[in-house]
Amino acid sequence: MITCRAGTAAVINQTVFHANYPNVSQEDRRLLAIAYRPAWAGPIADVTDWPAEKVARLPDHVRPFFQSLNTRRIDFNVPNRPANMRTEALGINPSRWDVS
């Protein structure tokens, strides 16, 4: 359940293509994006894990939800995986956020 005043939040599926007008106000727009991935569906290649110092500051009951993002409980070296399968691509690779 989400509790807030009418008009203060929008709840949508993250996979829905969507857009909004530019924010020309002095107010920040905040976004909370939550996704679920079962542990067996780990990434094909390693991704940057949660910052250990931030995880250490989480409450004890929350910390188990911030385990390694690289958890894999399946053998990805299966015969039906092409040897030349790409592990990154424009638009979907996490490095697209690297602005350094």
- Give a yes or no: residue 40 inside a domain: yes
Does some domain include residue 58?
yes
The residue range of the domain holding 69 is 32-80
Confidence of residue 62 (pLDDT cuts 50, 70, 90): very high
Give 63's contacts (C-beta < 8 A, 6+ positions apart).
55
Mean per-residue pLDDT of the chain: 77
Number of compact structural domains in the chain = 1
Average pLDDT of 15-25? 82
What digits encode the pLDDT tens for the residues 49-58? 999 999 999 9
